[in-house]
Amino acid sequence: LDEAVPDHISEPRLSLDGVVLPRASRTRLTEALAIPAALASLAAADWGLEGSLLGTPGIALLFYGSPGTGKTLCAEAIAGPLGRSLWRLRTEQLLSKFVGETEKRLADVFAAARRKGDVVLVDEADSFLTTRESAVRVWEATMTNVLLQEIERFRGVVILTTNRDAVLDPALERRLIARISFQLPSAEERRLLWERHIPSRV
């Protein structure tokens, strides 16, 4: 696992307070994160969820939009308040020329993240989850199947990012709790970005 993805785990540098989003996107994100935020608090033990047959619910989010609009940064900001590390999975780390190796890497990474309870980010999810009807090779459909199964089984937060949400397999939709659009910031949002992230001495 470490050889396959040597630099995939990072500690969050900021919280959601440092992320500037349009009001509608922030509201949708806050609603989607209400469950994992509550489970991360002391209230989870009071509710007795550890012994429930329902288990801990999984949260799958899709962030879509143009490059450079903050999708990956927002994933990092989500992991911070939950007290979790971020497992960032990228195409070049997981894809293999050997038959069955990509699927094995995906399963191994999700199993390890599940044991630690961390947040998983699948960058460029369209590389793994293109619609199976358009698959040219058998392994492409198999890879999609494996990732869909891992997302469904994961009892934590999984975030998928893409610039091409239209090509994603339709079966992903029922596994998502929210789709959140990331757009280029407005003039007001750009001003907030400068105010929050440019050091005062500068």
Give me the pLDDT at residue 53, please.
44
The secondary element (H helix, E strand) that includes residue 180 is strand 178-182
**157-162 and 59-65 as β-strands: parallel, antiparallel, unpaired?**
parallel
pLDDT means per 10 residues, the chain with 202 residues, are 56 84 89 73 57 61 93 90 86 74 86 88 87 57 86 90 91 91 92 87 85
- Please list the alpha-helical segments (H only) found in 33-183: 34-40, 43-47, 71-79, 91-94, 101-116, 138-153
Q: Which residues contact 115 (CB under 8 A, 6 or more apart)?
A: none
Give me the pLDDT at residue 36, please.
67
Alpha carbons 87 and 123: distance in angstroms, whole number: 10
Alpha carbons 49 and 67: distance in angstroms, whole number: 39
Give me the pLDDT at residue 159, please.
95
pTM of the predicted model over 0.95: no
